[in-house]
């Protein structure tokens, strides 16, 4: 390794959280954004739903807080929920000022205002959206702003290998990271006064996911290896309605469909959600996902069906143009027939523990967005609170970084990456095999419904895979697949250990061995054994 980049702030990830933070910091600091693929290839871009914020005069912050607490099933941090809800509107107004065009409508008095939709768990219409492609509108607008800023450098196709800590044990802090430049296939280093993880979640640990390929839990694994605590990793949200079609890939059908009246049906056309919950299709996602999973297993069916064909065709095309276009290309006319759906891993509710400013346990290291655990989501994320969390915490982290960054801090020369004893791998098939095995047994043993026996079986497999991968990692040059697999296996272990810790069923964690809820509950917090004395 010969190349070292230096900056004030290094942001790992280029989604809503990372881009927002970069724009808020760039007038005060030199910023490097590391993007594992292209700048737009992340979960934000593919988010169809919207962003929750109180804009309706009939709605209230108290109602938003209460809805979130109910969805989180006793595990939300109420102070965090209120902090997020109170800062929602101002965060949205900043987005609007950046040029994001949310849908508008004209009311009976002829006034133009935002069109607000409703999604599962919400008691009011409070979801701002840009048709059914809100994430794309946000991502492309912010990416354009970032590219125009002279103090932001974007490094595309760069994987972070590991964080680097200072050698001063009395003042241990993050000073940067080793990175793999996929363009040159060389290991480089970035020295930064402040490092921010905005890497998204870990849904790629499962065989079926709505997320893009890059969602491999990199930030969670890196932070854990650096000694940070993680929390609530057992709560993996499965989106109830991914399009079930061999050519659909990981195409998500937004919850706004159900918010606008779509009905879930069995293959025979009968409706089933009222049998599971009085809120029917507008029940929280964990309830809906389990209901679909139960009906599929009970009937031996490949999928269930989501039907909005009873609504006016022009209404469907206007509000869901992306879905209409996609399904039409697959030969399905959603204005006339139901859409085949299955649940898929969608959102990581746990993550790296952070403060209200996004600070982790390691000085000068922050985490914002899906990679983090703030206490907002509890046992189940409420729809459209996830993008909101990105903007609110990017805002609070930016303020803290501006207030605390040391302008006089010297550049440290990071030691070279040692590749003297590694060779090129001629057995890529080993990585591919382990990759598929991991995602399959996580789906089967650590999925929507769990048992202690399945979890222990999965943990045994993870430990075997970890030893194989570590051996491989020591002897061969790094690659994208190897780095992602190393991180996914680490995150898989954290998910399983967290699930084994929770002796109850709550929210997204449902186990047949402990089907009831405990009267008193608390977050599941994992600490690396060598860091126990610091807790």
Sign of the Cα pseudo-torsion (37, 39, 45, 51, in order):
positive
Distance CA 433, CA 464 (A): 13
Cα dist from 460 to 177, 433, 445, whole Å: 31, 17, 12
Distance CA 117, CA 129 (A): 8
Contact of 74 with 380, CB cutoff 8 Å: no
Distance CA 83, CA 80 (A): 5
Query: Which tokens sit at 76?
Result: 């939300």
Rg, C-alpha atoms of the chain: 23
Query: Which tokens sit at 311?
Result: 């609504």
Residue closest to 422 by CA, chosen among 480, 462, 479: 479
Region class of 285: left (phi > 0), else alpha (psi between -120 and 50), else beta: alpha
DSSP assigned state of 193: E
Residue 145 among the catalytic residues: no
C-alpha angle 404-82-141 in degrees, rounded to nearest 5: 65
Q: What is the pLDDT of residue 420?
A: 58
Instruction: Name the one residue in this structure whose structure tokens are 């972070």.
Output: 160
Looking at the DSSP bridge assignments, the partners of residue 341 are 243, 304
Q: What is the pLDDT of residue 403?
A: 95
498-504: Cβ within 8 A, 24+ apart? 498/232, 498/233, 498/234, 498/350, 498/524, 498/526, 499/233, 499/234, 499/446, 499/450, 499/455, 500/452, 500/455, 500/456, 500/459, 501/234, 501/526, 502/234
Distance CA 329, CA 233 (A): 37
Query: Which tokens sit at 249?
Result: 């890939």
Q: What is the pLDDT of residue 357?
A: 97
**Quick check: helix, strand or coil at residue 250?**
coil
Distance CA 245, CA 36 (A): 28
Q: What is the pLDDT of residue 425?
A: 62
Domains of the chain: 4-234+349-404 (3.50.50.60), 237-346 (3.90.700.10), 428-510 (1.20.58.100)
Q: What is the value of pTM for the model shown?
A: 0.89
Distance CA 236, CA 345 (A): 7
Sign of the Cα pseudo-torsion (57, 62, 63, 68, in order):
positive
| Catalytic residue (choose from 229, 258, 265, 285) | 285
Residue closest to 448 by CA, chosen among 488, 492, 505, 501: 505
Tens of pLDDT along the chain (535 residues) come to: 468 999 999 999 999 999 999 999 999 999 999 999 888 888 887 777 789 999 998 999 999 999 999 999 999 999 999 999 999 999 999 999 999 988 888 777 778 888 888 877 889 999 998 887 888 999 999 999 999 999 999 999 999 999 999 877 778 999 999 999 999 999 999 999 999 999 999 999 998 888 877 889 999 999 999 999 999 999 999 988 999 988 887 788 988 899 899 999 999 999 999 999 999 999 878 889 889 988 988 898 989 999 999 999 999 999 999 999 999 999 999 999 999 999 999 899 999 999 999 999 999 999 999 999 999 999 999 889 999 999 999 999 999 999 999 877 777 778 777 765 666 666 677 888 888 899 989 988 999 989 999 999 999 999 999 998 888 878 778 888 889 999 999 999 999 999 999 999 999 999 999 999 999 999 999 998 876 544 3
Q: What is the pLDDT of residue 392?
A: 97
Contact of 499 with 349, CB cutoff 8 Å: no
Sequence-separated (6 or more) residues with CB below 8 Å from residue 108: none
Contact of 100 with 130, CB cutoff 8 Å: yes
Angle between helices 61-71 and 78-86 (to 10 degrees): 140
Sign of the Cα pseudo-torsion (301, 118, 209, 81, in order):
negative
Q: What is the DSSP code string of 446-498?
A: SSSSB-HHHHHHHHHHHHHHHHHHHHHHHHB---HHHHHHHHHHHHHHHHHHH
Q: What is the pLDDT of residue 533?
A: 45
Specify the length of the chain in residues: 535
Looking at the DSSP bridge assignments, the partners of residue 377 are none
Sign of the Cα pseudo-torsion (331, 251, 389, 283, in order):
positive
Region class of 49: left (phi > 0), else alpha (psi between -120 and 50), else beta: beta
Q: What is the pLDDT of residue 251?
A: 85
Query: Which tokens sit at 28?
Result: 């005060």
Distance CA 215, CA 204 (A): 5
Cβ atoms within 10 A of the Cβ of 327, count? 22
């Amino acid at each position: 390794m010969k190349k070292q980049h230096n900056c004030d702030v290094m942001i790992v990830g280029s989604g809503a959280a990372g881009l927002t933070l970069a724009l808020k910091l760039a007038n005060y600091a030199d910023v490097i954004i590391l993007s594992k693929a292209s700048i737009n290839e992340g979960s934000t871009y593919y988010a169809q739903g919207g962003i929750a914020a109180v804009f309706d005069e009939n709605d209230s912050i108290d109602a938003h807080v209460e809805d979130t607490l109910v969805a989180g099933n006793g595990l939300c941090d109420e102070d965090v929920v209120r902090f997020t809800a109170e800062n929602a509107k101002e965060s949205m107004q900043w987005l609007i000022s950046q040029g994001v065009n949310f849908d508008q409508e004209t009311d009976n008095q002829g006034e133009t205002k935002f069109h607000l939709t409703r999604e599962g768990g919400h008691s009011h219409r409070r979801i701002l959206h840009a048709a059914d492609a809100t994430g794309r509108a946000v991502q492309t607008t912010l990416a354009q702003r970032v590219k125009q800023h002279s103090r932001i450098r974007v490094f595309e196709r760069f994987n972070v290998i590991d964080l680097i800590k200072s050698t001063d044990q009395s003042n241990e802090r993050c000073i940067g990271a080793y990175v793999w430049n996929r363009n040159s296939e060389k290991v480089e280093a970035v020295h930064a006064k402040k490092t921010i993880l905005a890497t998204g979640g870990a849904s790629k640990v499962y065989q079926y996911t709505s997320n893009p390929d890059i969602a491999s839990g990199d930030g969670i694994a890196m932070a854990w290896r650096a000694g940070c605590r993680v929390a609530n990793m057992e709560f993996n949200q499965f989106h109830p309605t991914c399009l079930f079609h061999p050519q659909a890939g990981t195409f998500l059908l937004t919850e706004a469909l159900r918010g606008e009246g779509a009905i879930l049906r069995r293959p025979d056309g009968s409706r089933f959600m009222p049998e599971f919950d009085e809120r029917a299709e507008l029940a929280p996602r964990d309830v809906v996902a389990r209901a679909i999973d139960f009906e599929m297993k009970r009937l031996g069916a490949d999928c269930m069906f989501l039907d909005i064909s009873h609504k006016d065709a022009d209404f469907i095309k206007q509000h869901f143009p992306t879905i209409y276009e996609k399904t039409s290309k697959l030969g399905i006319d959603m204005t006339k027939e139901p859409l085949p759906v299955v649940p898929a891993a969608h959102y990581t509710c746990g993550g790296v523990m952070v403060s209200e400013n996004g600070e982790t346990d390691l000085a000068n290291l922050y985490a914002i967005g899906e990679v983090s655990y703030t206490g907002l989501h509890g046992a189940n994320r409420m729809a459209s609170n996830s993008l909101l969390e990105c903007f609110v915490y990017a805002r609070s982290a930016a303020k803290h970084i501006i207030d605390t960054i040391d302008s006089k801090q010297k550049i440290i020369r990071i030691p070279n990456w040692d590749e003297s004893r590694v060779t090129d791998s001629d057995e890529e098939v080993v990585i591919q095999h382990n990759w598929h095995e991991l995602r399959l047994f996580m789906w089967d043993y650590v999925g929507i419904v769990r048992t202690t026996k399945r979890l222990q079986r999965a943990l045994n497999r993870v430990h075997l895979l970890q030893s194989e991968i570590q051996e491989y990692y020591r002897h061969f040059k790094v690659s994208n697949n190897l780095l992602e697999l190393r991180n996914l296996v680490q995150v898989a272990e954290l998910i399983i250990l967290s699930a084994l810790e929770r002796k109850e069923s709550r929210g997204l964690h449902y186990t047949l061995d402990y089907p009831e809820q405990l009267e008193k509950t608390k977050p599941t917090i994992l600490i690396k054994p060598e860091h126990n004395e610091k807790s």
